[in-house]
Structure 1
């Protein structure tokens, strides 16, 4: 059975793009439709089909393009397909084709209902005057289009609840893929001589770690606060527009903070391995980085809400806190995390490995449509080996 894959737009970097890669691998014969493709080397030539918006300057202004997206998705032109799989975090699930695909069952893999219009308090782009003006209309339309789906899969139970509230639809959960093996392999190194020297001389022997883009909602200042509460040095890895603000905050608070800017994958992996604990303050819909940390055997402290509360097992692979501003709670979580076993962390991480996602995805599509794929069943032997 032939299928079609729909994705909002393609970029060089991004969590949704990584998921999209695995979806595309699972169904290698399915063409991909996107509003525009800003990562032309990501997929084979001619596999991605763009819309008319790709030929305009609006491809570089998503906020201005937003009012035109629903009508663009509703007029996708002819396609021959027995099923449609929409990878959606905005309006991709609105897609409608003419031709043989017009009546094809539609499956929606939802990262979230569009925060722009449903939860503008979680997304600064929702404050755009144009977006605010059209949001009431788009909410009704978005709920109507979501009802067209034969089945919806959410990336977490956290998102599943949001789908129920926003779209009034039930959904199953298929957690997104994490390249666990990349972080779990203790033999992997790849560090340069300069990086080894930096680790020996520029990084504390013991530290708590935070790692993400330096942007407001990642709440990296909470990592600095936690280090102060624990009387432990802090390492902050990443980059972004808030770098100077975070440096000033660390200085003002008197924290012992080392910033590692734009670490390589090898350096980040080694920081995970050496950290006493990985601290993850944001509320994320899923949260890949805590799983990567657990894959190295490092425990995680995260909030008891959001996607990380579903991946981190309290008392087994780390600890969950209600509020990072509660110093005593952070200290209790840290003490609990230090009793965690490396094998338990790695075993848990492998429950979110890429083959697990691929099997769940292809089983879902097959069960709903009868489609097959090139994927193989997920294997658990790698995860089990860490239990011994």
Structure 2
């Protein structure tokens, strides 16, 4: 008589908040694929379609106006993560870029073992130089208290994974913990196979792509000040070539104003679809990426389609390309240095983007994150 195998251990995925779009949400989706039977808990869910059919629960913050103001909600997150309802999970995997690693769930056997995937220790608490939200008087006045509590909570997890060596070093400095590096997932296979997205382009999007100049610089990111998309326009002006800036965010008006004042043609494309963004990657001569990122998925996506990247000298994005082959590192973020690096990138020979980025594929991530939790 054949015995029935035991059911797999019950697991829980924990995430800060779920937004309609975002790199950390893409990581959570990959975690959900790696652990198809795991439940999900988050502070609130602004994209219910992303995890339809999954057992997902929100905290009390979801029914308050605080979900519309992440800065105000931050202090309330701390006790909220400690009051998650008890359940007999065998493990929990936490996706953390603020305070989700504080999460605690009690089971009948005690606290549920916790594994944490770190996008970054909270930037505006630990590295405000990279995030203007941490430079205001109110945040600076409470940051020492937050850091002390954050360090104490960071002693709890069984293990940490960082999305880059850059973040691993910040984990060691902030929390005194070691971490294994597991780069976040990029949909390399889908991006490389243009048939999976080219047919989704609308007629208007095709006209946009057909009207692009033969040579142009691309800046793609969230439209917010610390992404430094203004430097993409500055670089284009230094080189005398057109630029396209694509993304979405609160600084759209300021970027459009900067574009109208530019000495070269600059087009701002707001809220591009995935298909249009991939079309822009494929058509661009160089992706100029001035942001200091924890990892930097956009440079990887551009490389998949054979577009070289230029970045500044600091950040996790330095780990996403091979200098002199698929990208160039500028000596600084001054327009002159960015222009010099971009000029060098324009001269790089063609490369096999799918091969160069295979190590960042979703399949590789899912295998590594399963091994991180289950051994």
- TM-score, normalised to structure 2's length? 0.90
CA distance, structure 2, for counterparts of residue 52 and residue 234 of structure 1: 45
Q: Which residue of 2 aligns with 1:67?
A: 75
The range that moved more, 41-50 or 73-82, is 41-50
Q: Which residue of 2 aligns with 1:216?
A: 225
Corresponding residue to 1:91 among 73, 76, 99:
99
CA distance, structure 2, for counterparts of residue 70 and residue 28 of structure 1: 28
Q: Which residue of 1 aligns with 2:38?
A: 30
Q: Which residue of 1 aligns with 2:13?
A: 5
Q: Which residue of 1 aligns with 2:128?
A: 120
Contact 1:272 1:278 in 2 (8 A): yes
Gaps of 5+ in 2: 1-8
- CA 1:310/1:337 → structure 2, altered by over 3 Å: closer, same or farther? farther
Corresponding residue to 1:267 among 266, 273, 276:
276
1:167 is aligned to 2:175: yes
- CA 1:197/1:141 → structure 2, altered by over 3 Å: closer, same or farther? closer
CA distance, structure 2, for counterparts of residue 84 and residue 147 of structure 1: 16
CA distance, structure 1, for counterparts of residue 269 and residue 85 of structure 2: 48
How far does the alpha carbon of each residue in 1:2-42 deviate from its partner, in whole angstroms, 9 at most, with x for none? 22221112222221111111111211211112222222222
CA distance, structure 1, for counterparts of residue 340 and residue 28 of structure 2: 39
Q: Which residue of 1 aligns with 2:263?
A: 254
Corresponding residue to 2:214 among 162, 184, 205:
205
CA distance, structure 2, for counterparts of residue 186 and residue 42 of structure 1: 23
Query: What is the Cα deviation at residue 340 of structure 1?
Result: 3.1
How far does the alpha carbon of each residue in 1:208-231 deviate from its partner, in whole angstroms, 9 at most, with x for none? 211222221111121112212222
Q: Which residue of 1 aligns with 2:58?
A: 50
1:235 is aligned to 2:244: yes
The range that moved more, 115-124 or 158-167, is 115-124
CA distance, structure 1, for counterparts of residue 337 and residue 89 of structure 2: 57
Corresponding residue to 1:195 among 205, 212, 215:
205
Describe the SS at the equivalent of 1:236.
strand
Query: What is the Cα deviation at residue 362 of structure 1?
Result: 0.6
Contact 1:59 1:65 in 2 (8 A): yes
Contact 2:16 2:96 in 1 (8 A): yes
CA distance, structure 2, for counterparts of residue 100 and residue 7 of structure 1: 23
- CA 1:152/1:341 → structure 2, altered by over 3 Å: closer, same or farther? same
1:177 is aligned to 2:185: yes
CA distance, structure 1, for counterparts of residue 133 and residue 109 of structure 2: 33
- CA 1:269/1:233 → structure 2, altered by over 3 Å: closer, same or farther? same
CA distance, structure 1, for counterparts of residue 47 and residue 259 of structure 2: 37
CA distance, structure 1, for counterparts of residue 17 and residue 248 of structure 2: 24
The range that moved more, 292-301 or 34-43, is 34-43
Query: What is the Cα deviation at residue 166 of structure 1?
Result: 0.7
Gaps of 5+ in 1: 368-388
How far does the alpha carbon of each residue in 1:246-280 deviate from its partner, in whole angstroms, 9 at most, with x for none? 33334444122223333332222222112111111
- CA 1:14/1:332 → structure 2, altered by over 3 Å: closer, same or farther? closer
Q: Which residue of 2 aligns with 1:375?
A: none
Describe the SS at the equivalent of 1:41.
helix
CA distance, structure 1, for counterparts of residue 255 and residue 145 of structure 2: 39
- CA 1:224/1:64 → structure 2, altered by over 3 Å: closer, same or farther? closer
Q: Which residue of 1 aligns with 2:332?
A: 323
Contact 2:119 2:163 in 1 (8 A): yes
Q: Which residue of 1 aligns with 2:318?
A: 309
- CA 1:101/1:321 → structure 2, altered by over 3 Å: closer, same or farther? farther
- TM-score, normalised to structure 1's length? 0.87
CA distance, structure 2, for counterparts of residue 342 and residue 29 of structure 1: 39
RMSD: 2.1
Describe the SS at the equivalent of 2:334.
coil
Runs of 4+ residues over 6 Å off in structure 1: none
CA distance, structure 2, for counterparts of residue 218 and residue 240 of structure 1: 11
Contact 2:198 2:275 in 1 (8 A): yes
Q: Which residue of 1 aligns with 2:372?
A: 364
